[in-house]
Amino acid sequence: MSTAILPSQKNHSVVQIALFASGAGSNAKKIIEHFENSGRVVIKLVVCNKPGAGVVQIAADNNIPVLMIERERFFNGDSYLNELNLASIEFIVLAGFLWKIPETLIQNFRNRIINIHPALLPKFGGKGMYGSKVHEAVIAAGEVESGITIHYVDEHYDNGDVIFQAKCSILPTDTAESLAEKIHKLEHENFARVIEECVSKL
């Protein structure tokens, strides 16, 4: 006689995540730490387009393989889809990755690629809007608040469906640098948690 397995008794499969990053990797570090002892999520791969970027060392410190990518193959070749498949990647997280994601990856990971943007989209998004450039534009526009937007990635810059936003106030004395500190705090407080919520829906 067979016994029915209740939903709560089922073994949830582990989700393998690839982190795409281009810079120092502070968000990547927080995400890796968050999922270090997770039974549900494994950070399987760090994908980077900049040799010597800080995130490469963070990956090494945590024994996570790094896939270094070059522009021509990423945009005009197979977009490294084979390597991602070999690593059994099921979900992609952009944590400070500055290249636009090619259609090959978007089509193969539809609704399974998310990005974090350092402003309240749809304001201050689009091509060339990243890092300090965003904060400088926000300050110059006289905004009284800014924040972060976590969103799904589609074929257009900063255009996919919004998953989560968090806000911070901008004081008259704030500079792009001080605003960046507030934004980083919001990123570190929220990104890993939102990733976990997205993965739980798979």
Residue numbers of the domain that contains 125: 14-199
Provide CB contacts within 8 A for 4, sequence distance 6+: none
Examine residue 3 and state whether it is found in any structural domain, yes or no: no
Examine residue 26 and state whether it is found in any structural domain, yes or no: yes
pTM to 2 decimal places? 0.91
pLDDT of residue 4: 40
The number of domains in the chain is 1
The 10s digit of each residue's pLDDT in 84-131 is: 999 999 999 999 999 999 999 999 999 999 999 999 999 999 988 999
What is the pairing mode between strands 41-48 and 113-117?
unpaired
25 has binding-site annotation: yes
169 has binding-site annotation: no
Does the active-site annotation cover 117?
Answer: yes
Examine residue 161 and state whether it is found in any structural domain, yes or no: yes
Please identify which residue in the block is written with the tokens 């980077």.
48
Q: Which of 34, 117, 156, 188 is catalytic?
A: 117
pLDDT of residue 202: 85
pLDDT of residue 13: 85
Examine residue 193 and state whether it is found in any structural domain, yes or no: yes
pLDDT of residue 10: 38
pLDDT of residue 27: 96
37 has binding-site annotation: no
Integer Cα distance of 45 and 55 in angstroms: 12
Rg (CA), the chain: 18
CATH number at 186 reads: 3.40.50.170
Q: Are the CB atoms for 115 and 130 separated by under 8 Å?
A: no
Examine residue 30 and state whether it is found in any structural domain, yes or no: yes
Examine residue 9 and state whether it is found in any structural domain, yes or no: no
Examine residue 46 and state whether it is found in any structural domain, yes or no: yes
Phi/psi of residue 49, nearest 5 degrees: -110, 5
Q: Which amino acid is at 51?
A: P
pLDDT of residue 12: 58
Mark the ranges of the chain whose per-residue pLDDT is less than 50.
1-11
Examine residue 166 and state whether it is found in any structural domain, yes or no: yes
Measured CA angle at 111 (ends 108, 117), to 5 deg: 115
